[in-house]
Copies of this chain bind each other. A is one copy, B any other.
Amino acid sequence: MQELTKAEEQIMQVLWTVEKAFVKELLAEMNEPKPAYNTVSTIIRILEKKDFVSFTAFGKTHQYYPIVSREDYKTQISKSLVSKYFDGSFENLVSFFAKKEEIDLEELDDIIKTLKK
């Protein structure tokens, strides 16, 4: 699986949210300043070539949908972050941010208890 560029990621985030969409609909979901219709259209065709999206054709128009899930993509990029900055260990990441008090220990404790059941 390849990495997404900034512009590609932006489109994917929208598509992951709406699950399927025509270019026009993607554009509608985007924040100002909106890119040109053709810009979105170009990027989605790049995403097609990268095998991140596919489409169903309705006559001439295409309804696009993700073929890489948000979950799979976030798994990949999280792992890449952990490998580059936390020695490949999620435990290191947790302990790093727990020390910085960015993670609540009680809450974490609850999460573990729930998962252990």
The answer to whether A97 touches B85, judged by C-beta atoms less than 8 angstroms apart, is no
- Once bound together, how far apart are the Cα atoms of A70 and B77, in whole Å? 19
Q: Of the candidates B85, B109, B111, which one forms a contact with A77 in the assembled complex, judged by CB atoms under 8 Å apart?
A: B85
User: A interface, by DSSP: helix, strand, loop or mixed?
Assistant: helix
Question: Nearest Cβ in chain B — how far from A3, in angstroms?
Answer: 9
The answer to whether B84 touches A81, judged by C-beta atoms less than 8 angstroms apart, is no
In the complex, per-residue mask of A88-107: 1 if CB is within 8 Å of any chain B CB, else 0: 00110111111110111101
The reply on A39 being an interface residue by CB < 8 A is: no
- Once bound together, how far apart are the Cα atoms of A100 and B77, in whole Å? 15
- Once bound together, how far apart are the Cα atoms of A102 and B116, in whole Å? 14
- Once bound together, how far apart are the Cα atoms of A100 and B85, in whole Å? 20
